[in-house]
Amino acid sequence: MDLRSARAALQIARRVAVLTGAGVSAASGIPTFRDAQSGHWARFRPEDLASPEAYAADPELVWAWYAGRYRDVLAAQPNPAHHLLVRLEQQKGAGFFLATQNVDGLHARAGSGTRGGRLAELHGNLALARDEVTGEVFPLPDPAQLSLPPLSPAGHRMRPNVVWFGEYLPEEALRAAQQAFAQADIALIIGTSAVVYPAAGLARDTLLGGGKVIEINPEPTDLTRLASFSLRETAERGLDLLLTEHLNEH
């Protein structure tokens, strides 16, 4: 498959499933999880800040880390890659499914999940917190009003609503993603290293179901050899090459 045939296949596809990783948000200035560990945080391992054990040992430390990341993502804006995926959703409607490994909320802020398709935030969202007693999820206040650790309306301590090391992905979201990818005519895998399971297995679900996989990533990944077509581009440039021409026809 070359670029021309990839464009054509995407244009006629009735069911499109998309998986995005950190590369989609790079142009918005969002650092990757490990890149965010700079300055004061450079002395911590990821497991020191993003695991149930770390939170149980020092919830104030963990919340200080997440509050900083929350401020960073609120200051960022969706980039052209996010907006192009919204336009693709508008074209495909109910045949569109977007699963993201990102916790920055930029897909939702761009409008994904509001144009007839579905958005699944597989690893959670930094702008939300979960009541430790009831499990209810609430939006965090503006960073200027955020006290740590935050409390729910019921007065219970809340934890970041993200998936930590050693935790399972949300069962309903993962099941929906697996079904969407298994039924997809085309899977778009964008800006992810394709090494973190179970999300990394979604492209294989599409291939097993007889669909095609298109990868967009500046560097080769473990998925590249299996992909029907692989674009060595950034997320925004790769999506522009794939989509702009036929999206402008609608």
Q: How confident is the model at residue 35 (pLDDT cuts 50, 70, 90)?
A: low
Third-level CATH fold of 39-75+127-162: SIR2/SIRT2 'Small Domain' (3.30.1600)
Residue 81 has pLDDT above 60, yes or no: yes
Q: How confident is the model at residue 38 (pLDDT cuts 50, 70, 90)?
A: low
Domain 3-30+77-123+166-247: CATH superfamily, name plus number: TPP-binding domain (3.40.50.1220)
40 is catalytic: no
Q: Domain extents for the chain?
A: 3-30+77-123+166-247, 39-75+127-162
Contact 216, 238 (CB under 8 A): yes
**What is the phi/psi pair of residue 234, to 5°?**
-65, 165
Residue 211 has pLDDT above 70, yes or no: yes
Q: How confident is the model at residue 142 (pLDDT cuts 50, 70, 90)?
A: very high
Residue 247 has pLDDT above 70, yes or no: no
Alpha carbons 140 and 127: distance in angstroms, whole number: 6
Number of CB atoms found within 10 A of residue 53's CB = 12
Alpha carbons 7 and 162: distance in angstroms, whole number: 35
What is the residue type of 101?
Answer: Q
Q: Among residues 123, 156, 246, 250, which one is catalytic? A: 123
Structure tokens at 164: 């930590």
